């Protein structure tokens, strides 16, 4: 096999980042855009020792698992990677991914994994979208209409507002529609783009560190209908913001709040060191279960409200809580899990390493009138042990709920939790691989075993899956 070869092959599996796996005479070939069950014609782009990469040329036989992508940018945009796969099949691939991780990395080969909790309507589900300003990238169709002299290595040097190309931090796909947030959100993007290009307002460049426009972040509450527009810029220009606010409110009078985050940072994080509020209070409110949350431009909040509620309900169910229980919510973020389970517990202790999140958690508890939650700031590697050795140690937990980041838990933390000997442990994870690794550590003493498992589909049309596992202490 060599570069440029054109071959036919059958797609057998899915890999990460929208790639699929074919085997040609036993050799693995990664093909972008293939769906398991397809027979495709492909052209080899590169050959390494153990695998090759190929471009899909045409479908000889399409897989029955295929679906027609709804979005015209599918295939170029990095937002959705699985729109070409039917939703039922997406769920089945995610279920298998969880089962494989538990078998291969956790040493749990015979665990039955149920289908993920699916969304009734898997479109327009995000409550937050972060768009970027930058130089414009073109879709393949746009490229064919472009005079060659305008082509700057796959794009044009015109300003754009949309999403980054996968793996390209210098180019932006100019989005006029998006199926992830809401139709109103796409109309806001288009209005802001028109306003900015019409006024010749300069786009920030990470190369020259000059220019004004950096990001547009839209947050909308799925339960209250409130909506926030946050323009992230390099400088403070009240003239621009005042005019943009007037234009936005003329078109969208129901916008709840409009803010401007200002940052001179070199990195492309859409968070300002300073914030100015141009309309409303600078916050919106969202509801999960019985609780109401005030969300500001820079607060962390689960991006799929409906599925977050089902995720937390699942965690609560797996915890088998009893009246009088002490619960630890570890990696507690802004306290949403702690507050979700608080009514059934005597006391809840949240531990989290980001100071702002701990502050938000305390505020969330107060504004919801919840009095039995305490939030502690600290890195779990040290704090868990320190909290036991303190002069006034935390009461030992009956239930521990963990929700770590993608990297999973530090081994020390996993062992520490086991030594606390809670009656149940609930592990909420956005990465089945690290979750399986950590579960292996927690179950190896023989004290804990898997009692329940439920994946939850938080991100339809992407490869991501959230998984909840309940462990029970067999010595209690
Ligand atoms: C997946 S989020 C969970 C947030 C929360 N449970 C929720 O549902 O919104 C993981 C959280 O763990 C925190 N975190 C990461 N490493 C940590 C550590 N070593 N100690 C304590 N918290 C940590 C992060 O700041 C983040 O808020």
Q: Specify the range with the lowest mean pLDDT, choosing from 34-38, 157-161, 177-181.
A: 157-161
pLDDT score, position 144: 66
pTM to 2 decimals? 0.92
Mean pLDDT of 360-382: 95
- Find the 460 Cα to ligand 1 centroid distance in Å: 23
Q: Is the CB of 382 under 6 A from ligand 1?
A: no
Residues 6+ apart with CB under 8 A from 326: 345, 346, 347, 348, 349, 395, 396, 397, 398, 399
Which of 353, 356, 382 gets mutated to test ligand 1 (max ligand atoms within 8 A of its CB)?
353
Q: Is the CB of 354 under 6 A from ligand 1?
A: yes
pLDDT score, position 126: 97
pLDDT score, position 415: 96
**What is the average pLDDT value for the chain, to the nearest integer?**
93
Give the pair of three-digit tokens for residue 417. 């939790």
Give the pair of three-digit tokens for residue 280. 């409303």
Q: State yes or no: pLDDT of 141 exceeds 80.
A: no
Identify the CATH assignment for 128-296 out of 3.40.50.720, 3.90.1300.10, 2.40.50.1070, 3.40.50.620.
Answer: 2.40.50.1070
Q: Is the CB of 226 under 6 A from ligand 1?
A: no
Q: Is the CB of 379 under 6 A from ligand 1?
A: yes
pLDDT score, position 206: 82
pLDDT score, position 221: 97
430 part of the active site: yes
Q: State yes or no: pLDDT of 155 exceeds 80.
A: no
Q: Is the CB of 74 under 6 A from ligand 1?
A: no
Cα–Cα distance, 35 to 30 (Å, whole number): 11
Position 29 confidence tier, pLDDT thresholds 50, 70, 90: very high
Number of alpha helices (DSSP H) and beta strands (DSSP E) in the chain: 10, 21
The string of pLDDT tens digits covering residues 277-323 is 999 999 999 999 999 999 999 888 999 999 999 999 999 999 999 99
Q: How far is CA 89 from the centre of its chain?
A: 20
Give the pair of three-digit tokens for residue 121. 């309507």
Q: Does domain 305-473 have CATH number 3.40.50.150?
A: yes
pLDDT score, position 143: 62
Position 159 confidence tier, pLDDT thresholds 50, 70, 90: confident
DSSP string covering 53-70: EEEEEEEEE--TTB---S
Fold equal for 128-296 and 305-473? no
Residues 6+ apart with CB under 8 A from 54: 7, 22, 29, 30, 31, 42, 43, 44, 45
Coil vs helix vs strand at 411:
helix
pLDDT score, position 139: 63
Alpha helices in 218-354 (DSSP H): 238-251, 305-319, 336-341
Give the DSSP H or E segment for 274. Answer: strand 274-279
pLDDT score, position 113: 98
Position 140 confidence tier, pLDDT thresholds 50, 70, 90: low
Closest CA to 129 of 62, 63, 91, 80: 80
In our burial notation (b when 16+ CB lie closer than 10 A, e otherwise), range 272-306 reads beebbebbbebbbebebeebbbebbbbbebbbbbb
Which of 405, 430, 456, 464 gets mutated to test ligand 1 (max ligand atoms within 8 A of its CB)?
405
Q: Where are the domains of the chain?
A: 6-61, 128-296, 305-473
Cα–Cα distance, 222 to 127 (Å, whole number): 7
Yes or no: say if 321 and 342 are a contact pair by the CB < 8 Å rule: no
Q: How many residues does the chain have?
A: 476
Yes or no: say if 138 and 158 are a contact pair by the CB < 8 Å rule: no
Among positive and negative, which fits the CA dihedral 399, 329, 316, 115?
negative
Position 103 confidence tier, pLDDT thresholds 50, 70, 90: very high
pLDDT score, position 41: 96
Identify the CATH assignment for 6-61 out of 2.40.50.140, 3.40.50.2300, 3.30.379.10, 3.40.1650.10.
Answer: 2.40.50.140
Q: Specify the range with the lowest mean pLDDT, choosing from 67-81, 92-106, 174-188, 334-348.
A: 67-81
The string of pLDDT tens digits covering residues 381-428 is 998 878 888 888 899 999 999 999 999 999 999 999 999 999 999 999
Residue 380 CA, closest ligand 1 atom number = 20
Alpha helices in 407-453 (DSSP H): 411-420, 432-443
Q: State yes or no: pLDDT of 456 exceeds 80.
A: yes
pLDDT score, position 156: 59
Cα–Cα distance, 215 to 384 (Å, whole number): 38
Q: State yes or no: pLDDT of 236 exceeds 90.
A: yes
C-beta neighbour count of 64 within 10 angstroms: 10
Q: State yes or no: pLDDT of 328 exceeds 80.
A: yes
C-beta neighbour count of 401 within 10 angstroms: 31
Q: State yes or no: pLDDT of 48 exceeds 80.
A: yes
């Amino acid at each position: 096999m060599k570069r440029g070869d054109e071959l036919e092959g059958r797609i057998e599996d899915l890999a990460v980042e929208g790639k699929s796996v074919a085997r040609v005479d036993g050799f693995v070939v990664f093909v972008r855009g293939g769906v398991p069950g397809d027979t495709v014609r492909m052209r080899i782009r590169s050959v390494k020792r153990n695998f090759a990469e190929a471009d899909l040329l045409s479908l000889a036989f399409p897989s029955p698992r295929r679906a027609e992508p709804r979005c015209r940018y599918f295939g170029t945009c990095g937002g959705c990677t699985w729109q070409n796969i039917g939703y039922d099949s997406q769920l089945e691939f995610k279920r298998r991914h969880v089962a494989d991780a538990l078998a291969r990395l956790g040493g749990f080969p015979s665990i039955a994994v149920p289908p993920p909790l699916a969304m009734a309507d898997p479109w327009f589900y995000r409550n937050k979208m972060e768009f970027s300003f930058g130089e414009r990238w073109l879709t393949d169709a746009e490229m064919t209409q472009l005079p060659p002299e305008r082509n700057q290595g796959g794009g044009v040097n015109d300003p754009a507002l949309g999403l980054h190309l996968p793996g390209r931090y210098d180019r932006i796909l100019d989005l006029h529609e998006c199926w992830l947030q809401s139709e109103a959100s796409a109309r806001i993007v288009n209005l802001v783009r028109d306003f900015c290009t019409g006024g010749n307002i300069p786009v920030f460049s990470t190369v020259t560190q000059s220019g004004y426009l950096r990001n547009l972040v839209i947050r909308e509450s799925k339960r209250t209908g409130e909506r926030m527009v946050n323009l992230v810029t390099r400088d403070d220009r009240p003239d621009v913001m005042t005019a943009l606010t007037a234009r936005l409110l003329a078109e969208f009078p129901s916008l709840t709040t409009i803010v401007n985050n200002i940052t001179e940072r070199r990195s492309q994080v859409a968070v300002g060191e300073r914030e100015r509020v141009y309309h409303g209070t600078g916050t919106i409110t969202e509801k999960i279960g019985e609780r109401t949350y005030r969300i500001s431009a820079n607060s962390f909040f689960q991006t799929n409200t409906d599925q977050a509620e089902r995720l937390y309900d699942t965690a609560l169910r797996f915890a088998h809580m009893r009246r009088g229980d002490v619960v630890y919510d570890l990696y507690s973020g802004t306290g949403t899990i702690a507050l979700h389970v608080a009514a059934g517990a005597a006391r809840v202790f949240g531990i989290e390493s980001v100071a702002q999140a701990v502050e938000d958690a305390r505020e969330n508890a107060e504004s919801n009138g919840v009095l039995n939650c305490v939030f502690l700031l600290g890195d779990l590697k040290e704090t868990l042990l320190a909290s036991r050795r303190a002069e006034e140690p935390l009461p030992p937990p009956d239930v521990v709920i963990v929700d770590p980041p993608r990297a999973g838990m530090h081994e020390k933390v996993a062992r520490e939790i086991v030594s606390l000997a809670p009656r149940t442990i609930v592990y909420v994870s956005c990465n089945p691989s690290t979750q399986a690794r950590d579960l292996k550590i927690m179950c190896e003493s023989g004290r804990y075993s898997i009692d329940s498992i439920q994946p939850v589909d938080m991100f339809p049309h992407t490869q991501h899956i959230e998984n909840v596992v309940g462990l029970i202490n067999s010595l209690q």
